[in-house]
Amino acid sequence: MKSGLLILAIGILMFACKWDAQKYNSPKMIVCTTTIVGDIVKNIVGNRYEIKTLMGAGVDPHIYEAKPSDVRAMGEANVIILSGLHLEGKMSDLFLRLKDEKNIISFSDGMNVTKLIRLNAHSFDPHVWFDVDLWGKGMLHCKNSLQKIYPKDAVFFEKNYQKMKLKFQLLKQEITKKINTIPRSKRVLVTSHDAFHYFGKAYGIDVKALQGVSTVTEPGLRNVSNLVDFLVEKKIPAVFIESSVSSKSIKAVLEACLKRGHQLKIGGTLYSDALGGSGSNANTYLKMIRQNVQTFTNSMN
Ligand SMILES: [Zn+2]
């Protein structure tokens, strides 16, 4: 009788433990950090997995701090996927703490270091998605990692990846064609923060910005006056504001140029570190890149 009760107690305990493990580790739940990462992952895993993207449209990832609900979601998820290279700088400690218990995939791990833009001895420019080839390497690494975690869906992931790879190739051709319509001397992109160096490097565009690569620091006065000199001398027709960064500083540049007789205009808003909202024409990675190229070419031609 006693041993029967013991078996029953162990059984209840085991059931409770299993139930707990299921609750706190949903095998089909994937957490992504930015909308740009989330969109690619969605294309690879389809509807077979539950994806939760922590940062919404128009959110600046450099200054984003995890909310309690984000921490909870990461605790429940089986896989966490990030962009990497310290783009999600304020969440680094969290990823470090979770690295032994969760599958953490970083897009940047799929990229050859020689293709990255170095900022200093310890860090790289994180805005890698603006080079379609480079982002494609990140997507490949993400797909390979997911295939190892979920081998039963490996063929399904491969099929979806191949479709996306083709779309990336077509997108790259389209960008090159559009940029080539801009006269060489006008292939200059000026924005508020330095997010477009990979874009510039990949498609032959000179990139200038007021703020550094991260939006954490405010632009200095010297940066503003250097930029104004450049814009006036080169007669650059337009500068751009960014969806996830304040436009205050770029407006100061406009006023300074006007004082020196150069009528500079705002060419439009570029999507930098986040996709547009669900109703916008930039709510997927492919559409966002296309939209930026369109905005840029329209203003510089
Ligand atoms: Zn940025």
Domains and CATH numbers, the chain: 20-175 (3.40.50.1980), 181-300 (3.40.50.1980)
Q: What is the Å distance from ligand 1's center to 273 Cα?
A: 5
Q: What is the Å distance from ligand 1's center to 240 Cα?
A: 14
Residue type, 216: V
pLDDT, tens only, 44-96: 999 999 999 999 998 999 999 999 999 999 999 999 999 999 999 999 999 99
Q: What is the Å distance from ligand 1's center to 165 Cα?
A: 25
Q: What is the Å distance from ligand 1's center to 3 Cα?
A: 63
Q: What is the Å distance from ligand 1's center to 195 Cα?
A: 5
Q: What is the Å distance from ligand 1's center to 85 Cα?
A: 11
Whole-angstrom distance, CA of residue 119 vs CA of residue 126: 10
pLDDT attached to residue 212: 59
Structure tokens at 194: 């330095």
Q: What is the Å distance from ligand 1's center to 30 Cα?
A: 24
pLDDT attached to residue 14: 45
Q: What is the Å distance from ligand 1's center to 5 Cα?
A: 61
> Where are any strands of DSSP class E within the chain?
26-32, 50-53, 77-82, 103-106, 188-193, 206-211, 238-242, 265-270
Is 0.75 topped by the overall pTM?
Answer: yes
> Where are any strands of DSSP class E within 108-254?
188-193, 206-211, 238-242
Q: What is the Å distance from ligand 1's center to 15 Cα?
A: 47
CA 301 to chain centre: 28
User: At 106, is the secondary structure helix, strand, or coil?
Assistant: strand
Q: What is the Å distance from ligand 1's center to 127 Cα?
A: 6
Residue type, 139: M
Sign of CA dihedral 174, 178, 184, 190: negative
Q: pLDDT tier at 245 (50, 70, 90 boundaries)?
A: low
Q: What is the Å distance from ligand 1's center to 203 Cα?
A: 19
Beta-carbon-side half-sphere exposure of residue 97 (alpha carbons within 13 Å): 7
Structure tokens at 77: 């998820």
Q: What is the Å distance from ligand 1's center to 24 Cα?
A: 32
Helix, strand, coil share of the chain (percent; to 5): 55, 15, 30
User: In Å, how far are 4, 10, 13, 83 from 1, measured between CA atoms?
Assistant: 5, 14, 19, 58
Does residue 210 have a pLDDT over 80?
no
pLDDT, tens only, 13-51: 444 444 444 444 678 999 999 999 999 999 999 999 999
